[in-house]
A and B are shown apart, each in its own frame.
Chain A
């Protein structure tokens, strides 16, 4: 595929991501209705183009008479913040472990390496589900669980890259000059890994959003009445046979957002990190 086409993907992705972030930040300004306010007279109104729909509720209302569009706009807050925070937790921990394993090697490397193997072999979703079951469902617990189950991807890649960087002349020169390990890692190793990490993290946000949605879909993530796309999809599923829009639109919001993030991340990789190809390390059990 041509470079121009890829740049176009990057632009489309960036636009979608920006729109989703704007929705999250400016939800009170953008939402036409209060997402929490039930209106008994407006229960289960279909979307505007269906028979019985009205422009007052463009995407229809839920069984409590709450505006679906407003709830989806507010739902962006949960998904975007959960995705971003989970990635920050996973990235921080994963990068640290990768740097330690790659830089020190030996026993440290083999302990971390084995831990990574164990977590990667573990069906990710089941691990997350078991952890949520043990901790109890809440926003904070979900971030911790997603973060602590999502770190090995970074560790693998960062370890491999650190091994390469460690042997380069400038790192050896720094070591010969007597610089401390922490300083070498911070000033010489980490900056060289930054592009790779940024690309991985941007793609991981999409995966975390999907996982968050699924946990909320099962009722193990964000608790009602807080609007979250996954939670709304879970509620909508119950009414699926008679009121299709309740499940269709929240899922569409997830899909468009993750698509935007993936296009953005793929494009970013072409710009920042053109040599990296899709390797088994980037593929991971869920």
Chain B
């Protein structure tokens, strides 16, 4: 098991390095910060001066290395416009993003897992068909539009919920529902198919034959085993969740890291962009890693299999 976790850690480190390299390459080689920052009429001398000021006149490899070593110390540079430390800006907005993603996940799982279980148990019945149709429609829904429609209905028409911003629990409802609706369809389909696989297993039949109550069979025997693919998917889905957070934060003017990144991308505030993007990518890598480790705890076969293998 330690070997497996070490192997995954090493892999994750490699992925982090790759992410930092791609981000750096995009922002410094594909796009030239100086040309984007200065007005078109700027003279060559201006360009050279700004390059020197920003340290962009050094060789690319040296720039990347200092970006990497600084990043390891939590220093992503300073915002070009406010002169604030990019890392401080990110940390300041981190609680908002965490709040939103956790709430979105709760809503998403709260909808998806019960519906997935019901759908599998009542396979072929009207409930199952309605759930499937709902999931198909949900997967096609552009969530930025869903968010706007929710604002139109609940904030503009009925005036029961705030349209944007963060503060009270009321502010959290619409963004969390939007993000949850993004996460739910796929999770529901996976829960359903996971449960369907498990429900045909012999140990479920045995449990039922022993006279174990149906609720216990479903939630203790079946769901626990169906949870393995669900947890794996949740790890993978965490990336989707953050992608969804980018959209949700933008639509609801939610003051999180993702909306910070989007704003910085628009103004080409590259220290903030690379800080936020690398930071969010690291969170995804970490989530995937945790999901993999969590699965080994849920499924002793993986844990023991890896030790021998």
Q: What is the interface of chain A, defined by CB distance below 8 A to chain B?
A: 1-2, 5, 9, 114-115, 117-127, 129-136, 206, 210, 213-214, 217-220, 233, 237, 240-241, 244, 247-248, 251-252, 254-255, 258-259, 261-263, 266, 277-278, 280, 283-286
Contact = CB atoms under 8 A, between A and B. Distances in A.
A-B pairs, top 4 by smallest CB distance, nearest first, are A285-B239, A134-B31, A251-B145, A118-B18
Contacts of B276: 126
Of A119, A123, A132, A286, most buried by chain B (CB within 10 Å of CB) is A123
A278 B144 CA distance: 25
Interface of A is mostly: helix
A131 B145 contact: no
Given A255-B142, A277-B193, A214 B11 contact: no
Given A218-B262, A240-B151, A122 B240 contact: no
Contacts of B178: none
Given A121-B239, A121-B285, A240-B151, A218 B250 contact: yes
A51 B58 CA distance: 64
Given A5-B129, A214-B144, A240-B152, 18 more contacts: A1-B124, A114-B14, A117-B11, A117-B15, A118-B22, A122-B281, A124-B239, A125-B243, A126-B242, A133-B266, A134-B26, A206-B140, A213-B144, A254-B142, A283-B233, A284-B236, A285-B243, A286-B243
B284 A285 contact: yes
Given A114-B14, A121-B281, A133-B265, A241 B240 contact: no
B137 interface: yes
Contact of B284 (A1, A5, A121, A131): A121
Interface of B is mostly: helix
B184 interface: no
B139 interface: yes
Given A213-B142, A258-B142, A123 B18 contact: no
Contacts of A136: 31
Interface residues of B, number: 62
B232 interface: yes
Contacts of B124: 1-2
B135 to A, nearest CB: 10
Contacts of B237: 283, 285
A247 B265 CA distance: 24
Contacts of A120: 239
Contacts of A217: 144
Contacts of A219: 266
B190 interface: yes
A120 B144 CA distance: 22
B232 A254 contact: no
Given A129-B262, A134-B26, A123 B144 contact: no
A283 B14 CA distance: 22
B278 to A, nearest CB: 10
B95 to A, nearest CB: 19
A131 B27 CA distance: 8
Interface string B91-119: 00000000000000000000000000000
Interface in B229-279: 229, 232-233, 236-240, 242-244, 246-247, 250-251, 258, 261-262, 265-266, 268, 273, 276-277
B186 interface: yes
B186 A251 contact: no
